[in-house]
Amino acid sequence: MTTLERFALAPDLNVCRILNGMWQVSGAHGRIDREQALASMEAHIDAGFTTWDLADHYGPAEDLVGELRRRYVATRRGPALADLQFFTKWVPRPGPMPLAVVEAAIAISLRRMDIDTLDLLQFHWWDYADPRYLDGLARLHTLQEAGAIRHLALTNFDTEHLAVILDHGVPIVSNQVQFSLIDRRPEVRMAPFCRERGVHLLAYGTVCGGLLSERYLGQPEPRPSALDTASLQKYKRMVDAWGGWPLFQELLAALNDVAARHAVRIADVAVRWVLDRPAVAGAILGRRLGLTDHRADNACVFAIRLDAADRASIEAVLVKSRNLFTRIGDCGDEYR
């Protein structure tokens, strides 16, 4: 069996390099049945995919984690509860950030997830013009020192504001950003800065919601009505900005050739490429729990190594694409 790669985000936080993303339980990705979702979560954990990425606003995600944890305590089946990692996010509306407000928000996540200490709290802030994000992070650091949070992280912060946060003494271990063969913006400023300052990247959008797969190889450009999940709609817009459908077909063909050489699938090559980039600790793959299951394919990611010829054939297509950094901006700028 393939050994799943792990990475130490911190000395006491060792994660699977493919994280289970739970945005897909929040809606617009198909109806999620609670019991089927919990069964799927257990199956992923039993296969070694022990690390979960969720958020306070991902529908029932935190509640599903809480129920999973209670069942593990009751049945003691599978890996020990202490061997699982659950990363949530706090996405407040910009405004005053007194300790009471921050403490109340974190208390809700602790209760919903039925946990005493959050493994990793990832903070997002919509409006850089409102500097009170620094107040919020300072309060989170206070709660970290009190034991409610083990580690602090960010979601979709750009390089400039990550630097401001670190210079204010907030201990950030990771920043979650969009990173794929289509969206390589983190390579411009974010990754070099993170390597310099000891911050790691958690990449999402790595398979572009499923667009980077055999399903779309050799196919005509899909109509909007055929893009039946929020992820497909989101990442099709990125493909359009990157270079359009004809160039995307060239990329899929190149990836398919590489995949065939390694006896894997296109998505496996796409994930491996991102995991090999400097500063990347892990890739978050969305889980449509109870609806789809890609555990076996995902494990193949850890069995392949891209060589110089593989990378050159992929790069020959990428050089034809538009520069998304100049078109969109740094990491997270598409949200502001």
Q: Is 13 helix (H, G, I), strand (E, B) or coil?
A: strand
Query: What are the tens digits of pLDDT across the range 197-213?
Result: 999 999 999 999 999 99
Band (pLDDT 50/70/90 cuts) for residue 317 is very high
pLDDT band at 1 (very low <50, low <70, confident <90, very high): low
For residue 273, the surrounding DSSP H or E stretch is: helix 266-275
Give residue 77's pLDDT. Answer: 67
CATH superfamily of this structure's domain 6-209+274-293: NADP-dependent oxidoreductase domain (3.20.20.100)
Are the beta carbons of 325 and 185 closer than 8 angstroms?
A: yes
Residue 299 has pLDDT above 90, yes or no: yes
> Is residue 66 pLDDT above 90, yes or no?
yes
Residues 144-171: pLDDT tens digits?
999 999 999 999 999 999 999 999 999 9
The pairs formed by 270-273 with CB atoms below 8 angstroms and a separation of 24 or more are 270/180, 270/181, 270/206, 270/207, 270/208, 270/212, 271/18, 271/206, 271/207, 271/298, 271/301, 272/301, 272/304, 272/305, 272/306, 273/181, 273/306, 273/311, 273/314
Q: 88: which strand partners?
A: 121
Residue 4's contacts (CB-CB under 8 Å, 6 or more residues apart) are 16, 17, 18, 48, 49, 299, 302
230-284 residue pLDDT tens: 999 999 999 999 999 999 999 999 999 999 999 999 999 999 999 999 999 999 9
Confirm if 85 and 119 have CB atoms less than 8 A apart: yes
Report domain extents, the chain. Answer: 6-209+274-293
